[in-house]
Chains A and B, each alone.
Chain A
Amino acid sequence: MEALVEALRCLPGVGPKSARRMAYHLLERDREGARRLARALEEAAERVGHCRSCRTLSEAELCPLCASPARDRSLLCVVESPADVAALEAGAGYRGLYFVLLGRLSPLDGIGPRELGLDLLERRLAEGEVQEVILATNPTVEGEATAHYVAELVRARGIKATRIAHGVPLGGELEYVDSGTLSQALAGRREIGGEEG
């Protein structure tokens, strides 16, 4: 019992109290659920690795996105984490491929270019399929520094590098947007065009 409580505490945000509650729930009310959870964890920990092409979490050597013939291979979107891939896939209508850095440049955390798999990214760029690299790292200081670093690497190969836009969230109100975001939004303003065609 103590071992189970202790093991559950490895989950983010789970302290001793919630761990105990979870353990009681599984043992008193849902033994079958407990067995399912144990099997799923066991299997995932054994079998999920990183895609050899984009570094995201994947069971196969090549993740389903990289393996899909329906994706546009000329577009490559660079993100920080597998969760970012899931977010973009959930609703952004993006049809290209991804490259997952599994982090961002942060000298004080000991994360440099080597830790981000940029040698693998370079090999992919060298294959010649990619025409445009979209930098979708987070709009934090480290995310910006990373975007700039990758962009230099991409441009050195004569490939187009673009950065996702930052600004006011849809349905948001200017009054409540922080000044940093507002100045970014102003700096990245666009001309409103007339009807096309």
Chain B
Amino acid sequence: MAERVRLEEGWVLHRRPYRETSLLLEVLTAGHGRLALVARGARRPRSAWQGLLQPFRLLLLSWSLRGELGTLTGAEPAAPPLPLAGRALWCGLYLNELLVRLLHRHDPHPGLHRTYGEALRGLAVAGGERVRERVLRLFELQLLRELGYGLLLDRDAGGAPLVPEGRYAYDPARGPLPLAPGEPAPRGSVPVSGALLLELQRGRVGDAALPAAKALLRAALGRCLGERPLRSRELFGALPMVAPGPALREGA
């Protein structure tokens, strides 16, 4: 018996052509996590789904599911499309790549669905590089938490409370290891201040701490992502032949 779901909030993460006139969608839904759905006939010239089934638009999705692959039976807009443009659009593609790479199908993460929507709205209004960077870092932090790989941000690997003035080497597998004054961080760990970890614990990150937060979260995500690199990172920083002005030194 096929499982039927009606009008559940969801986002298209990715779409690719499927058979002659259909689309194969990866979606993130509120109650059922990441799913693969076939949208039959969505690539026919007059299909109403053609324009609707795009990433970065909150939809109400209906589908039936038998086995691994579901069939889309309805899609309606739940909100106007988010006006992501330029670099904010690349950031959105980065979020989608993270989700497809790290979430298992049929594994519900209701909190993540909300966090993702907030991050996209943050990117849509963000005026500059720093705002976008902050949105990405806080999303990564929340994603790791949802996946069960949350960072240890209130005490060190030995269980002692973190001190803001302290220097730590963050080992993605073990947590923050206190460093003696002048001691370098060992290989595979990221040097961070106690202040940054405590700030992240409260869901905040200041402008000055953005580069350190990026290094920390990149290492932590690397542990989950494995060897295969994220392709969306190529969009940032890798623009060939462009002088690296301040506006271009950005990235995921």
Which residues of A approach B to under 8 Å, CB–CB?
12-13, 105, 107-114, 118-119, 122, 140-142, 144-145, 148-149, 152-153, 156-157, 178-181, 183
Which B residue sits closest to A126, measured CB to CB? B241
Chain B residues with Cβ under 8 A from A148's Cβ? 85-87, 89-90
B89 A145 Cβ-Cβ under 8 A: yes
Which A residue sits closest to B52, measured CB to CB? A178
Which A residue sits closest to B57, measured CB to CB? A180
Interface size range of chain B in the complex: 35 or more
B232 A107 Cβ-Cβ under 8 A: yes
Q: Is the interface of B mostly helix, strand, loop or mixed?
A: mixed
Output the least CB separation between A54 and chain B (Å).
19
Of A105, A109, A119, the contact of B235 (CB 8 Å cutoff): A105
In the complex, A119 Cα to B240 Cα: how many Å?
8
In the complex, A156 Cα to B242 Cα: how many Å?
6
In the complex, A179 Cα to B82 Cα: how many Å?
12
Most interface-central of A108, A114, A145 (chain B CB within 10 A): A108
B90 A145 Cβ-Cβ under 8 A: yes
Chain B residues with Cβ under 8 A from A180's Cβ? 51-52, 54, 57, 80-81
Output the least CB separation between A189 and chain B (Å).
15
Which A residue sits closest to B88, measured CB to CB? A148
B239 A141 Cβ-Cβ under 8 A: no
Of A107, A109, A122, A152, the contact of B230 (CB 8 Å cutoff): A107
- Answer yes or no: B20 CB below 8 A from chain A CBs: yes
In the complex, A119 Cα to B248 Cα: how many Å?
19
Of A109, A112, A144, A181, the contact of B234 (CB 8 Å cutoff): A112
Chain A residues with Cβ under 8 A from B56's Cβ? 141
- Answer yes or no: B172 CB below 8 A from chain A CBs: no
A112 B231 Cβ-Cβ under 8 A: yes
In the complex, A107 Cα to B99 Cα: how many Å?
12
In the complex, A113 Cα to B240 Cα: how many Å?
9
Chain B residues with Cβ under 8 A from A156's Cβ? 239, 241-243
- Answer yes or no: B77 CB below 8 A from chain A CBs: yes
B97 A179 Cβ-Cβ under 8 A: no
If A108-B231, A113-B235, A183-B80 touch, whether A141 touches B97 (CB-CB below 8 Å) is no
If A12-B20, A140-B54, A141-B89 touch, whether A149 touches B235 (CB-CB below 8 Å) is yes
- A122-B241, A179-B80 known; 17 new pairs, CB 8 Å cut-off, are A107-B230, A107-B234, A107-B235, A108-B93, A108-B97, A122-B240, A144-B85, A144-B89, A148-B85, A148-B87, A149-B90, A149-B235, A152-B242, A153-B242, A156-B242, A178-B48, A180-B80
- Answer yes or no: B124 CB below 8 A from chain A CBs: no
